[in-house]
Amino acid sequence: MSDQSLNWLIIVDVTYVAILVVTAIRIIWDTTATHKTLAYLLLVFFVPIFGVLFYFSFGVNYRKRKVYSKKLIKDDQLRRRVIRQIITRSEANLRAYRERIGNATGLARLLLNSSISPLTIGNRVRVLVNGEEKFPEVLESLRSARHHIHLEYYIYEEGEIGNEIAEVLMAKAREGVKVRVIYDAFGSRGLRRRFIRDLRSAGVEVFPFNRIHFAPLANRLNYRNHRKIIVVDGATGFVGGLNISDRYANYTPRLGRRPEVFWRDTHVRIDGPGVMHLQYLFFCDWNFCAKQDLAPDADYFPLKRFPGGEESVQIAASGPDSPASTIMLSMAKAINLARREILISTPYFIPGETILNAIRVAALSGVSVKILAPGLSDSRLVNAAAWSYYDDLLSAGVEIYLYRKGFIHAKSMVVDDNLAVVGTANMDYRSFELNFEVNAVVYSEGVARTLREIFMEDLKDAERIDPVTWRERTIFKQIPEKMARLLSPLL
């Protein structure tokens, strides 16, 4: 080897080592969670070049680099006054409905203090099972809109469902209804330009969340807007696990066919003041995406137009812009509140130590804990990582069921007799730390009872894992799961 070649090799080696050192310092400085810090460091040092590219593409911490501001009210003095009013009203509701909320008062205060999410009363909440119940309800609500329609989705796909909703949106826009649509640029990457152009030509305002120009180099690709929100006239809202796509409908009437995989999912419709925080989240996301300054007023945040209802509702939301994961904290708190029973449905179960220990403590304390997870998954790697947690849970007495009828995509939790959670957040690192998510927290015996009945019906199509058989699996099955668990903070 010539001296010149040797010199070039030395320069390359020194440069690469310098890049590794700088990247390592950046990871240590920027990544708050120890498990993620170690995972990224292992990836950077043991997978040359790719590890560095992966971190800078997907790992940059936007909690320290605010993605956007949530300050809808620019006047700080007015904003502080509004926050005081929300806290005062919520505390009054807590006192007035203490018996109905029961021992979940601490959870209500957590949501109030961590994200100024108001505790609202007088809502009507309807649980919607699968696309067969959700989509007709959504279409009826959209057709009844008089002032505005706000729609925000991770996945919006063209097809029978997507096109029918688009036709209604365009028709309402032509009638003079303000129609605004946000779609995630990654989740809805299949939307054609012509589809967007047709919506805009009809008067629908449409913007992507975090526009992606070149996916392989998009460092915001990892920070996805996973929310599914619809708000109609500020009084009716929808939130849950179902995106807009034919795959979420188990039967499409016009096409007269069923999908290859049965899709089991859960959504809720809320009529009442609980919708206002969904509206607030949409406004924040809209002003970021559209680069507008849409201001809240009585048309968008009505105070006296709500139908009478009996349910108490709070909205839990978090994302990379939040100082802490309200979603994760609220789930942990809800689990800790349990005295009798916890029922969890989740398609992706990579809980992290906080949620894992909360579930184990509950089970070891005598609480009946049942988890319904996919038997059929759309990601083998995620499934393997999830299975690595089952040993700890089974040893603590948790009952784990694998859904066999199709794919379980519902994200719900029932705690005892009066607390129910339905939303977009999976029980995994991505939902807790990376995605923009939203859950509806409902303090209601009726809603909790409905979700419990649905859960028990789902168990009829599930297979319970036998702890003894599970522990006797061969080492060749367990090693890939342990390896996948090492990557779980990055999945």
* Per-residue three-class SS string for the chain: CCHHHHHHHHHHHHHHHHHHHHHHHHHHHHCCCHHHHHHHHHHHHHCCCHHHHHHHHHHCCCCCCCCCCCCCCCCHHHHHHHHHHHHHHHHHHHHHCHHHHHHHHHHHHHHHHHHCCCCEEEEEEEEEEHHHHHHHHHHHHHHCCCCEEEEEECCECCCHHHHHHHHHHHHHHHCCCEEEEEEECCCCCCCCHHHHHHHHHCCCEEEEECCCCCHHHCCCCCCCECCEEEEECCCEEEEECCCECHHHCCCECCCCECCCCCEECEEEEEECCCHHHHHHHHHHHHHHHHCCCCCCCCCCCCCCCCCCCCEEEEEEEECCCCCCCHHHHHHHHHHHHCCCEEEEECCCEECHHHHHHHHHHHHHCCCEEEEEEECCCCCHHHHHHHHCCHHHHHHCCCEEEEECCCEECCCEEEECCCEEEEECCCEEHHHHHHCEEEEEEEECHHHHHHHHHHHHHHHCCEEECCHHHHHCCCHHHHHHHHHHHHCHHHC
Instruction: Evaluate whether 370 touches 397 at the Cβ level (below 8 Å).
Output: no
Q: Which of 246, 285, 416, 428 is catalytic?
A: 416
Q: Which of 94-108, 145-159, 276-290, 355-369 has the lowest mean pLDDT?
A: 94-108
| pLDDT at 308 (0 to 100) | 74
Instruction: Evaluate whether 247 touches 161 at the Cβ level (below 8 Å).
Output: no
Q: Which of 150, 409, 428, 458 is catalytic?
A: 409
To the query of whether residue 147 is one of the catalytic residues in this protein, the response is no
Q: What is the pLDDT of residues 353-375, one digit of tens each?
A: 899 999 999 999 999 999 999 98
Q: Which of 70, 134, 172, 226 is catalytic?
A: 226
Q: What is the pLDDT of residues 390-437, one digit of tens each?
A: 888 999 999 999 999 999 999 999 999 999 999 999 998 888 888 899
Distance CA 413, CA 371 (A): 9
Instruction: Evaluate whether 342 touches 469 at the Cβ level (below 8 Å).
Output: no
Determine whether 298 is exposed, middle or buried from the number of CB atoms within 10 Å of its CB (0-12, 13-18, 19+). exposed
Instruction: Evaluate whether 112 touches 299 at the Cβ level (below 8 Å).
Output: no
To the query of whether residue 246 is one of the catalytic residues in this protein, the response is no
**446 or 80: whose pLDDT is higher?**
446
Residue with tokens 């522990």: 471
Distance CA 226, CA 246 (A): 18
Distance CA 264, CA 372 (A): 12
- Rounded to a whole number, what is the distance in angstroms from the first to the last CA of the chain? 43
Distance CA 89, CA 270 (A): 20
Q: Which amino acid, 310?
A: E
| pLDDT at 64 (0 to 100) | 46
Mean pLDDT score, 197-207: 96
Q: Which of 22-36, 81-95, 145-159, 252-266 has the lowest mean pLDDT?
A: 22-36
To the query of whether residue 228 is one of the catalytic residues in this protein, the response is yes
Q: Is the pLDDT reported for residue 336 higher than 90?
A: yes
Distance CA 359, CA 394 (A): 11
Q: Is the pLDDT reported for residue 218 higher than 50?
A: no
Q: Which of 233, 265, 285, 458 is catalytic?
A: 233
| pLDDT at 71 (0 to 100) | 56
Other residues' Cβ atoms within 10 Å of the Cβ of residue 301: 14
Instruction: Evaluate whether 293 touches 152 at the Cβ level (below 8 Å).
Output: no
Q: Is the pLDDT reported for residue 144 higher than 80?
A: yes
Q: Which of 63-72, 317-326, 428-437 has the highest mean pLDDT?
A: 428-437
Q: Is the pLDDT reported for residue 78 higher than 90?
A: no
Beta bridge partners of 342: 369, 415
Q: Is the pLDDT reported for residue 283 higher than 70?
A: yes
The CA-based angle 272-278-280, given to 5 degrees, is: 115
What is the pairing mode between strands 427-428 and 349-350? Answer: parallel
Instruction: Evaluate whether 134 touches 267 at the Cβ level (below 8 Å).
Output: yes
Q: What is the pLDDT of residues 456-489, one digit of tens each?
A: 999 999 999 999 988 887 777 777 766 666 666 5
Q: Is the pLDDT reported for residue 77 higher than 80?
A: no
**Confidence class for position 286, pLDDT limits 50, 70, 90:** very high
CA distances 219 to 57, 184, 211, 222, 323, Å, are: 4, 15, 11, 7, 20
In the chain, the percentage of residues whose pLDDT exceeds 70 is 78
Mean pLDDT score, 186-207: 94
Q: What is the pLDDT of residues 4-38, one digit of tens each?
A: 665 566 665 567 667 767 777 776 766 666 666 76
Residue with tokens 């096409």: 255
Q: Which of 250-259, 299-308, 437-446 has the lowest mean pLDDT?
A: 250-259
Kindly give, in sequence order, each residue whose CB lies less than 8 Å from that of residue 76, ignoring residues fewer than 6 positions away: none
Other residues' Cβ atoms within 10 Å of the Cβ of residue 14: 10
Q: What are phi and psi of 296, to 5 degrees?
A: -70, 140
Q: Is the pLDDT reported for residue 335 higher than 70?
A: yes
| pLDDT at 217 (0 to 100) | 44
Q: Which of 172, 184, 411, 458 is catalytic?
A: 411
- Shortest CA distance to 341 belongs to which of 305, 307, 365? 365
Q: Which of 2-6, 143-147, 342-346 has the lowest mean pLDDT?
A: 2-6
| pLDDT at 338 (0 to 100) | 96
Distance CA 78, CA 51 (A): 47
Q: What is the pLDDT of residues 231-275, one digit of tens each?
A: 999 999 999 999 999 988 886 555 555 667 889 999 999 999 999
